[in-house]
């Protein structure tokens, strides 16, 4: 490998990988197509690495505008690379670039090997129990409840009740059965290969979030007498981490708690057009790359000046707003998900509910305190609001202010399941700021 290949190839991965990551970040991240998002993130580095290697044919005549000037795509990573010939690029003057690239790969792979060694060292002496399809290792508080490969590391000092333990275990088993650890290793290897590309380092946190949402979906489907979203919020607030955090583990309280709670509430159907948006983005990148290839007119036509290819520009992504969270108690006749969620009369959706709570809220007198209060309440089958309670408190005065605001909520249009009105429980965060 010489610089005449390596440097343009690395520069050519920047635009496609950046475009795919931005499609995920601004278009698909808040959609509930978690399996699709996972596949996109796993394929993104492969597509970005392969696109610069594709043969670039001349553009068809119908895409060439006669008389238009030819515009070549500049190198984003190396805009003024002074390489005239392959021989010059592979000379001693560019050996430092190849050496630097190799050192970066070595450091990244060494870091990954060190993380694997740390995990092995921390877990090799843990007592284990073989179970169907996985192994349960008891950490005794040394490691958080987490998973890697086919092993679930269980913090038996966390004090979870059997009702709380069931959805947490289901969450970790989803990581195991769906092979999430191997996904992370795949992207870690690509991050080592593409380390000069900044977007290669943004894919891992995006994939971790997608893994958590997939596991949350599996946990939510587990029958349990406790509300999973409220349990997630409570455990995150308690800091139930149990010990050292190791980078390769899929920890239950890893991060993204508010995003995960919001997605548990999100009832908006997946907008399929957003998934198809990847195709015009890739097509536009390929056309742009073809534009910079040498133009060769057909033998039967007169020579014409080169032209700029029309690029398929995807529509701008919509502005996404993080909606507040709705949690549901699955005990008895209180539902988690229903076909028609409760709503205020004439104002469907969770946002008007939060706005009404904030409108009812009276800020506590005597000082200010920043933070969040997580409160829950139930919308009964007749639309009445009942059972307001604090899931995660901030201070007594603030907790009481939130409960008072919830008690002032008007009667709802009740939720419906199978055509029948049912009770649905909500958990919402209320943010207090000093400048309120």
pLDDT band at 56 (very low <50, low <70, confident <90, very high): low
pLDDT band at 29 (very low <50, low <70, confident <90, very high): confident
When mean pLDDT is compared over 204-208, 215-219, 306-310, the highest value belongs to: 204-208
| Cβ atoms of residues 427 and 233 within 8 Å | yes
What is the pLDDT at residue 282? 79
Environment class of 321 (CB within 10 Å of its CB; exposed 0-12, middle 13-18, buried 19+): exposed
Percent of the chain with pLDDT over 70: 70
Least confident of 78-82, 121-125, 353-357, 421-425: 78-82
Residues in Cβ contact with 322 at an 8 Å cutoff, skipping those fewer than 6 apart: 30, 258, 259, 262
What is the pLDDT at residue 71? 41
Question: pLDDT digits over 361-376, tens only?
Answer: 888 876 677 788 888 8
Q: Tell whether the model's pLDDT for residue 39 goes beyond 90.
A: yes
| Cβ atoms of residues 381 and 414 within 8 Å | yes
* Total length of the chain: 436
What is the pLDDT at residue 58? 53
Q: Name which residue leads in pLDDT, 255 or 397.
A: 397
Between the alpha carbon of residue 221 and those of residues 29, 181, 212, 376, 405, the distances in Å are 21, 22, 14, 20, 31
Q: Tell whether the model's pLDDT for residue 411 goes beyond 80.
A: yes
CB neighbourhood size of 76 (10 A): 12
Between the alpha carbon of residue 14 and those of residues 9, 45, 80, 177, 421, the distances in Å are 9, 10, 16, 33, 52
Give Dmax over CA atoms of the chain in angstroms.
Answer: 86
What is the pLDDT at residue 371? 81
Tell me, what DSSP letter sits at residue 201? G
Least confident of 121-125, 270-274, 385-389: 270-274
Tell me, what DSSP letter sits at residue 31? S
What is the pLDDT at residue 143? 86
Q: Which residues pair with 378 in a beta bridge?
A: 386, 425
| Cβ atoms of residues 178 and 171 within 8 Å | no
Average pLDDT for the chain: 77
Q: Residue ranges per domain, the chain?
A: 3-54+65-73+85-272, 334-432
Q: Cα–Cα distance between 216 and 246 in angstroms, integer?
A: 21
Environment class of 373 (CB within 10 Å of its CB; exposed 0-12, middle 13-18, buried 19+): buried
CATH 3.30.1150 fits 334-432, yes or no: yes
What is the pLDDT at residue 314? 43
What is the pLDDT at residue 299? 41
* DSSP strand pairing (343-344 vs 412-413): antiparallel
Between the alpha carbon of residue 436 and those of residues 354, 367, 370, 398, the distances in Å are 16, 12, 10, 13
CB burial readout 101-112, b (16+ within 10 A) else e: beeebeebeeeb
Q: What are phi and psi of 231, to 5 degrees?
A: -65, -45
Q: Tell whether the model's pLDDT for residue 242 goes beyond 60.
A: no
DSSP 318-362: PPP-PPPP-----STTEESS-SB--EETTB-SSHHHHHHHHHH--
């Amino acid at each position: 490998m010489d610089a005449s290949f390596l440097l343009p190839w690395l520069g050519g991965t920047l635009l496609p990988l950046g475009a795919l990551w931005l499609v995920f970040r601004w278009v698909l991240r808040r959609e509930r197509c978690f399996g699709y998002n996972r596949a996109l993130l796993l394929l993104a580095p492969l597509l970005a690495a392969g696109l610069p290697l594709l043969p670039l044919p001349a553009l068809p005549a119908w895409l060439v505008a006669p008389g238009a000037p030819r515009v070549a795509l500049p190198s984003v990573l190396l805009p003024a690379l002074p390489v005239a010939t392959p021989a010059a690029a592979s000379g001693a003057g560019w050996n430092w670039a190849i050496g630097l690239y190799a050192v970066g790969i070595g450091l990244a792979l060494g870091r990954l090997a060190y993380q694997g060694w740390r995990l092995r060292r921390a877990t090799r002496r843990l007592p284990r129990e073989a179970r169907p399809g996985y192994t349960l290792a008891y950490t005794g508080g040394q490691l958080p409840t987490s998973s890697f490969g086919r092993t679930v590391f269980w913090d038996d000092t966390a004090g979870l009740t059997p009702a709380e333990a069931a959805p947490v275990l289901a969450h970790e088993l989803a990581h195991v059965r769906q092979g999430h650890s191997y996904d992370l290793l795949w992207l870690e290897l690509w991050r080592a290969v593409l380390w000069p590309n900044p977007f290669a380092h943004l894919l891992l946190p995006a994939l971790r979030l997608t893994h958590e949402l997939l596991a949350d979906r599996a946990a939510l489907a587990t029958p349990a007498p406790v509300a999973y979203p409220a349990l997630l919020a409570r455990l995150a607030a308690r800091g139930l981490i149990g010990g050292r955090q190791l980078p390769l583990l899929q920890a239950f309280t890893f991060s993204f708690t508010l995003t995960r709670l919001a997605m548990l509430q999100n009832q908006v159907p997946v907008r399929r057009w957003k998934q198809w948006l990847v195709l015009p983005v890739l097509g536009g990148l390929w056309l742009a790359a073809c534009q910079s290839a040498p133009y060769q007119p057909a033998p039967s036509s007169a020579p014409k000046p080169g032209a700029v290819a029309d690029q398929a520009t995807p529509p701008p992504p919509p502005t996404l707003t993080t909606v507040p969270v709705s949690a549901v108690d699955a005990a008895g006749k209180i539902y988690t998900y229903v076909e028609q969620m409760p709503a205020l009369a004439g104002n469907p959706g969770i946002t008007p509910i939060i706005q009404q709570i904030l409108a009812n809220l009276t800020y506590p007198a005597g000082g200010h305190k920043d933070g969040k209060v997580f409160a829950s309440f139930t919308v009964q089958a007749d639309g009445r609001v009942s059972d307001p309670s604090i899931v995660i408190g901030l201070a007594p005065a603030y907790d009481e202010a939130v409960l008072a605001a919830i008690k002032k909520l008007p009667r709802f249009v009740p939720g419906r399941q199978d055509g029948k009105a049912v009770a649905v429980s909500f958990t919402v965060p209320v943010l207090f700021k000093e400048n309120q």
